[in-house]
Amino acid sequence: MTRTAPPRSQGGPTILAALRESIISGALAPGVLLRQTELAEEFGTSRIPVREALNSLQAEGLVQIEPNRGAYVTTLSADELREIFDLRVLLEADALRHAVPLHSERSLRRVEAVQHELDAETAPAEWVRLDRAFHDALYEPGGRPRTLQMIASLRDAVQRFYLARLGPESRRPGWNEEHNNLIAQVRAGDADAACATLAAHLRHTEEIALAAL
């Protein structure tokens, strides 16, 4: 496993967060075997919190545990990836539709501030972090925490498949324009137009992820 070793003596939740981040970022590639003994040594702990973290990651769909074989970073088929994006379109459009009438000038300025950072960002990993922050700020006024939690889980499952392909030439012209269109449509209170723009935006991301499989 090619990942910078974290500080030793970390507890279960910290192990879970570190492994989740390594999988989502692509540092742990799909199909990589996660050996409990090695992870316990790396984190400076027993195998019990490692096992608990792997079980949690399996529940999130990021790890697959096979009897007598061990735990592997989950791989996705094209059909599975398409299903995840179908769910993202449904859930994120619903979150946005509930948020549009509840946005204020203050909340919209927060969305615009994140987009301003995105416009100038060139590092793919940081761009993805800011993109996530943009969508979180866009949906947050709707007050639907369970929906947002499901959206985050679905995004975690596919982010690693498009992260490496997010160079400036692949996303800046179209994606940032779509973001700015979303801001304008939300500011105008046009939920139908905003949801249509969001759906197209997510489908463009799906195309990049499919190409990376």
- Total-model pTM: 0.79
pLDDT at position 8: 43
Q: Which fold has domain 78-212?
A: Four Helix Bundle (Hemerythrin (Met), subunit A) (1.20.120)
In CATH terms, is domain 12-73 a member of 3.40.190.10?
Answer: no
**Cα-flanking dihedrals φ and ψ of residue 98, to 5°?**
-75, -30
**Other Cβ atoms closer than 10 A to 131:** 22
Residues in the chain where the model's pLDDT stays below 70: 1-13, 164-173
pLDDT at position 213: 76
Check residue 206 and give left, alpha or beta (phi > 0: left; psi -120 to 50: alpha).
alpha
Q: Six-digit token pair at 162?
A: 């498009």
pLDDT at position 157: 87
What residue spans in the chain does CATH classification 1.20.120.530 cover?
78-212
Give the mean pLDDT of the chain: 87
Sheet holding 63-66, edge to edge: 33-34, 70-73, 63-66
pLDDT at position 119: 86
Nearest Cα to 141, choosing from 179, 101, 112? 101
pLDDT at position 2: 43
What residue spans in the chain does CATH classification 1.10.10.10 cover?
12-73
